[in-house]
């Protein structure tokens, strides 16, 4: 129960490890801001001959310093290096010593402008330590977790009530009091299904009992769970998640299977404790009825599209022509190649001023490809002698990262270069543009990617 929800727990905090995760914030501050008064005082007293990450607590160290070292142990579990800039990767050495990681290493976006190597916190995509990720890492490393089961998708992301999500969690963890689970815990019960006399397991109750099979046959859906393929609670939930509701059910935005499982459980309890028999039709009708009621109660709230405000870097300048650049990238998930397109336009009459395309192999992700496209636009703008530039991209996540000045582990080298190239301009602005308004740059990027694929 103290595991994070996405690792199979309920998110309750284990106080000892949570305290260590909190202390790790102090260790992180000392590591990242060694010039602060606190860091200078503590490092000068305890780390004058050894680095902070390798120091030991002397016998006369204070209670506070011992606590910081306990937090440092949490940091050591998730620290890693972001490579700054190197002139050229030694591909031959990589192939000799790390051939299985060659593609991943060559896909690292390195900086071209002397970025220094940096220690970052790997569990967070921004590279900054947080208590939440530190505690989660402590728990996942200590306790066994089912890494093959997608808890977020199959439990917490299911469109149903919180009560039923908790019920699904109990099903997955064999925490519902069916006969098999009670016998396993040493409780003396008969343990057999009251309908058919077979040992009552969770998979029998929900999918393999003749009563359950007849209930599922009445459900208006396709890709319903096959009883013969259900061997564990995990396979039951995975099979249920593939189910698609048919239009006559009236359920378009709500999952039906949690309600079916719930009312199979209710029908079982009524039979065991009240000797009341619910028919298959009643169970199926109750499940559909309650699912419809819950769906109708969910207010449809249209979230406004958040367009990040522009980031403008003002510098002293005279009257200079402003040019806007539409940027896009195309990325192939199989070959991991990227194509980049940049369309420079006059913002007044929308006439194309210039265009640039480029491509490269070994691009790690679509996000990195979009970042490289913006970097390509800046490099071309510097070559053209432009000094006032408006960047328009259809990557909302990238524009948000740049305008908020956040970091990103996967694209840190490219983002550093973009920030460096901004210094060549008197004024730079970044705007998000819908994809439908960025078709020219998109087409240019796709053509560039196609040329790369054909040349390989």
126-136 tens-digit pLDDT = 999 999 999 98
pLDDT tens-digit map of 335-345? 999 999 999 99
The neighbour count for residue 423, using CB atoms within 10 Å, is 10
pLDDT reported for residue 97: 85
Distance, CA of 380 to CA of 373 (rounded, Å)? 11
pLDDT reported for residue 453: 85
pLDDT reported for residue 416: 94
The neighbour count for residue 308, using CB atoms within 10 Å, is 17
pLDDT reported for residue 256: 95
pLDDT reported for residue 141: 66
Give yes or no for residue 307 having a pLDDT over 60. Answer: no
For the chain, the domains span 5-78+122-142, 151-297
Give the mean pLDDT of 302-326: 57
Give yes or no for residue 234 having a pLDDT over 60. Answer: yes
Give the mean pLDDT of 74-84: 91
Give yes or no for residue 96 having a pLDDT over 90. Answer: no
Give yes or no for residue 398 having a pLDDT over 60. Answer: yes
Give yes or no for residue 370 having a pLDDT over 90. Answer: yes
Of 62-66, 144-148, 240-244, 446-450, which range is least confident? 144-148
What tokens appear for 107 in the block?
A: 């896909």
pLDDT reported for residue 366: 95
Distance, CA of 230 to CA of 215 (rounded, Å)? 16
pLDDT tier for residue 92 given thresholds of 50, 70 and 90? confident
Question: Which bin fits 307, alpha (ψ -120 to 50), beta or left (φ > 0)?
Answer: beta
pLDDT reported for residue 313: 47
Residue 200 near residue 191, CB atoms below 8 Å: yes
pLDDT tier for residue 171 given thresholds of 50, 70 and 90? very high
Mean pLDDT of the chain: 89
pLDDT reported for residue 6: 83
Give yes or no for residue 316 having a pLDDT over 50. Answer: no
pLDDT reported for residue 302: 54
Query: pTM for this structure?
Result: 0.75
Of 23-32, 137-146, 304-313, which has the strongest mean pLDDT?
A: 23-32
pLDDT reported for residue 264: 97
Give the mean pLDDT of 82-100: 80
pLDDT reported for residue 140: 77
Give the mean pLDDT of 110-139: 91
Residue 263 near residue 286, CB atoms below 8 Å: yes
pLDDT reported for residue 305: 53
pLDDT reported for residue 83: 86
């Amino acid at each position: 129960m103290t595991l994070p929800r996405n690792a199979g727990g309920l998110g309750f905090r284990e106080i000892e490890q949570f305290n260590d995760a909190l202390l790790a914030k102090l260790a992180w501050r000392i590591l990242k801001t060694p010039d602060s008064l606190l860091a200078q005082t503590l490092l000068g007293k305890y780390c004058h001959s050894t680095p902070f990450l390798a120091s030991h607590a002397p016998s006369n160290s204070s209670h506070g310093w011992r606590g910081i070292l306990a937090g440092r142990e949490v940091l050591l579990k998730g620290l890693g290096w972001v490579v700054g800039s190197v002139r050229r990767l030694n591909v031959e050495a990589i192939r000799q010593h790390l051939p299985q990681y060659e593609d991943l290493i060559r896909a690292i976006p390195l900086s071209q402008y002397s970025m220094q190597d940096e220690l970052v916190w790997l569990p967070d995509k921004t590279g900054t330590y947080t208590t939440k990720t530190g505690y989660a890492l402590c728990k996942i490393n200590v306790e066994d977790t089912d890494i093959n089961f997608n808890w977020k998708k199959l439990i917490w992301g299911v469109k149903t009530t919180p009560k039923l999500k908790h019920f699904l969690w109990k099903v997955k963890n064999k925490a519902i009091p069916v006969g098999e689970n009670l016998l396993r815990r040493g409780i003396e019960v008969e343990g057999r299904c009251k309908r058919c006399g077979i040992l009552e397991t969770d998979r029998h109750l929900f999918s393999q009992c003749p009563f359950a099979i007849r209930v599922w046959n009445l459900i208006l859906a396709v890709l319903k769970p096959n009883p013969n393929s259900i061997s564990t609670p995990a396979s039951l939930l995975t099979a249920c998640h593939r189910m698609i509701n048919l239009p006559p059910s009236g359920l378009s935005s709500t999952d039906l299977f949690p309600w079916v499982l719930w009312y199979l459980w209710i029908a079982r309890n009524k039979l065991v404790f009240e000797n009341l028999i619910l028919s298959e039709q009643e169970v199926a009708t109750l499940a559909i009825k309650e699912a419809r009621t819950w769906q109708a109660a969910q207010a449809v709230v249209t979230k406004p599209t958040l367009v990040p405000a522009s980031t403008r870097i003002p510098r002293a300048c005279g009257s200079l022509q402003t040019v806007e650049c539409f940027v896009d990238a195309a990325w192939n998930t199989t070959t991991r190649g990227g194509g980049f397109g940049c369309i420079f336009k006059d913002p007044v009459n929308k006439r194309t001023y210039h265009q640039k395309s480029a491509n490269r192999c070994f691009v790690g992700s679509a996000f990195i490809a979009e970042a490289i496209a913006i970097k390509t636009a800046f490099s071309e703008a510097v070559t053209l002698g432009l000094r006032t530039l408006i960047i328009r991209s259809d990557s909302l996540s990238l524009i948000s990262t740049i305008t908020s000045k956040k970091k990103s582990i996967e694209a840190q080298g490219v983002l550093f270069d973009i920030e460096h190239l901004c210094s060549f301009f008197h004024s730079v602005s970044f705007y998000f543009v819908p994809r439908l308004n960025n078709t020219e740059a998109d087409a240019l990027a796709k053509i560039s990617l196609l040329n790369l694929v054909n040349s390989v």
